[in-house]
Amino acid sequence: MMLTKRALPRRTFLRGVGASIAMPLLDAMVPSMTALAETPASPAQLRRLGFVYIPMGCDHTRWTLTGDTLEELSPSLSPLARVRQQVSVISNLELRNAYPGTHATSNAAFLSAATAKRTESTDYHLGTTVDQIAAQQIGQETQLPSLELAMDLVSMVGQCDNGYACVYQNNLAWSSPTTPLPAEAHPRLVFETLFGEGGSTADRLAAIQQRASLLDSIMEEMGRLERSLGPADRNRVHEYLDAVREVERRIQRADETSQENPLPDLDRPQGVPANYGDHARLMFDLQRLALQGDITRVITFQLARETSNRSYPEIGISEGHHPLTHHGNDPEKIAKVAKINQFHVSLFASFLESLQETPEGDGSLLDHVLYLYGSGMGNPNVHDHRNLPILVAGGAAGNMCGGRHIRHEQSTPLANLHLTLLDKVGVKLDSFADSNGTVDELFVPLSV
């Protein structure tokens, strides 16, 4: 087949002094007569996979949907209204290998569906997590095979939960049964990982202080690139770089705020927003930029750690999250747990909206990703691992049919969903952990 124009490579970078910026998907990267150009949103384009973890389950009375669609959202899921057609809720999924029922095993089993070895020492053993299985195949063509993020800046050490080492609660991603992958919670360090020149932590902090903006050093090269692009591509590049600059501005502002704080806290990291919601939104923005620039295709994000005693004053919750979940059926405590659930969902919903508003190809960035959001615990008051709160978002390019509530009649392994998502991003396995099938309903129209 003759091509009518030469394509710009997908792995196109703008390079400056100590910095490089990967470009979003542009029309100029797709030859006009290729099958990709003629067939918009083909399943082959669905090659990004993300996971967001919430701790300590949910209040099922305010989470659970009553119908088969998302036309009427439950209180906890109400923030999803604007993206409901790109979301599916799945009920009655279970982590059987997470028992005997602990916070440590909830976190550890969420992406591994494996049994954690009970130990307080360094002889821990779990299983390779689903994100890392994906990264081994779809992450090798990108700058970062995977990106591990969290919200808690300090890792716990020693024994954390009924004889289980803290490593099980600190880490979602494991590249092997004995290799947990630490997550980064500091927005500045994540930004430098995505766009900086590397080096030690001290080197990266010094480098960013020496320049007013990372983008200033690449403006000349961007000008040369723009001359070869059409109007639509120029707009996409400007929007992407504006988003990068805005994230950088917010990190720098958080840095300035922390430096202005008069409290004598010498260990305080710089560049971390004091407000939890602001911090979380910034971490989600960094994920969007990483996906948009094809810097990575696999992301895990722990919105809070199991047994977290974090309070949420921005939504009127002064008590710690963990104590509230042991509510003893106290209606007031249960209502506060539900309010935290709704707040976490609202942060994820805002992220999905930003993906939906980001053009890519003939659709949006949300069309070309799959995100799983949920917890490894069901009812936190009794520490069970049944009927987990689980959402799947995105995936229209892979023919995911959203706007639905999928209810399994019997408890079904969460591993079935992991196996399904792997298949949709092109990773073919016969089974994963304790899977006994797949969740094909996600990709079958309701009318069928």
In the chain, CATH 3.40.720 sits at 47-185+276-287+297-443
Using DSSP, state whether 160 is helix, strand or coil: strand
Least reliable range by pLDDT among 41-55, 218-232, 269-283, 289-303? 218-232
pLDDT tens readout for residues 66-97: 999 999 999 999 999 999 999 999 999 999 99
pLDDT at 308: 92
Percentages helix, strand, coil for the chain (3-state, rounded to 5) are 40, 15, 45
pLDDT at 234: 75
pLDDT at 253: 59
Please give the residue that has the higher pLDDT: either 8 or 441: 441
Using DSSP, state whether 393 is helix, strand or coil: strand
**How far is it, in rounded angstroms, from Cα 52 to Cα 403?**
19
CATH architecture of the domain formed by 47-185+276-287+297-443: 3-Layer(aba) Sandwich (3.40)
Cβ–Cβ under 8 Å, residues 366 and 85? no
HSE-up (13 A, CA, CB side) for residue 356: 16
Mean pLDDT for the chain overall: 83
- Is 313's pLDDT higher than 60? yes
Least reliable range by pLDDT among 136-150, 260-274, 331-345? 260-274
Q: What is the mean pLDDT of residues 98-127?
A: 94
Cβ–Cβ under 8 Å, residues 297 and 49? yes
pLDDT at 156: 66
Residues in Cβ contact with 167 at an 8 Å cutoff, skipping those fewer than 6 apart: 124, 180
Cβ–Cβ under 8 Å, residues 46 and 364? no
405's enclosing H/E stretch is strand 404-413
- Is 245's pLDDT higher than 80? no
Question: Which residues in 189-254 belong to E strands, given as ranges?
Answer: none
Least reliable range by pLDDT among 90-94, 132-136, 293-297? 293-297
Place 38 in a pLDDT band, splitting at 50, 70 and 90.
Answer: very low
Sign, CA torsion 28/285/427/445: negative
Cβ–Cβ under 8 Å, residues 329 and 348? no
213 C-beta neighbours (distance < 10 Å), count:
15
Find the helix packing angle between 276-292 and 331-356, rounded to 10°: 30
Residues in Cβ contact with 238 at an 8 Å cutoff, skipping those fewer than 6 apart: none
Q: What percentage of residues in the chain have a pLDDT greater than 90?
A: 61
What CA–CA distances, in Å, run from 377 to 99, 104, 173? 10, 10, 17
- Kindly calculate the radius of gyration of the chain based on its CA atoms and give it in whole angstroms: 22
Token output for 446? 């309701």
Sign, CA torsion 54/245/353/39: negative
**How far is it, in rounded angstroms, from Cα 289 to Cα 298?**
13
Please give the residue that has the higher pLDDT: either 208 or 437: 437
> In b/e form, how buried is each residue of 144-166, taking b as 16+ CB within 10 angstroms?
bbbbbbbbbeeebeeebbeebbb
